[in-house]
């Protein structure tokens, strides 16, 4: 059940980021090479799909770790840029966005579900690996 919840959270994360990406293609960083926020959203989507496939197909501690890092990293980024105006960081654009619209909220919930599920999978696989 945890595997499916983790995969579903990652799937939601990937879908929302992929759908939102074109609307954020014009937001680019100041330094060369320029990264657009849309490009970063596509990267997040691809990484979430890879993590989802690892969790579903490998059912191994490595897959759970990758899923946790991708989901927790995405959730951390959305929370950081929602509450702190970090500004642009070299080639990374200023992604400050304090407004919580539907897609952003859905993505954050998906990332939270995936991060918690992956962490549980990671802890459970660690417990199984230890001798009694």
30-79 pLDDT tens trace = 767 778 889 999 999 999 999 999 999 987 899 999 999 999 999 999 99
Task: Assess contact for 8 and 113: CB atoms under 8 A.
Answer: yes
Q: Look at residue 130 in the predicted model and tell me its pLDDT.
A: 53
Provide Rg for the chain, Cα atoms: 16
Bridge partners (DSSP) listed for residue 89: 92
Instruction: Considering only residues 29 and 21, tell me which one the structure prediction assigns the higher pLDDT.
Output: 21
Q: What pLDDT, in 10s, does the model give residues 96-121?
A: 899 999 999 999 999 999 999 999 99
Task: Compute how many other C-beta atoms are within 10 angstroms of the C-beta atom of residue 103.
Answer: 14
Cα-based distances in Å from 54 to 13, 36, 111, 122, 129: 15, 27, 16, 13, 19
């Amino acid at each position: 059940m945890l595997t499916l919840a983790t995969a579903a959270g990652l799937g939601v994360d990937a879908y929302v980021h992929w759908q939102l990406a074109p609307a954020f293609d014009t937001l680019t960083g100041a330094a060369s090479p320029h990264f657009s926020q849309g490009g970063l959203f596509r990267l997040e989507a691809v990484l979430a799909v890879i993590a989802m496939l690892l969790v579903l197909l490998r059912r191994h501690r490595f897959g759970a770790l990758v899923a946790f890092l991708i989901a927790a990293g995405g959730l951390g980024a959305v929370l950081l840029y929602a509450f702190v105006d970090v500004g642009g960081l070299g080639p990374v654009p200023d992604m400050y966005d304090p407004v919580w619209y539907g897609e952003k909220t859905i993505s954050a919930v998906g990332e939270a579900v995936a991060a918690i599920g992956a962490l549980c999978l990671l802890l459970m696989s660690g417990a199984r690996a230890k001798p009694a």
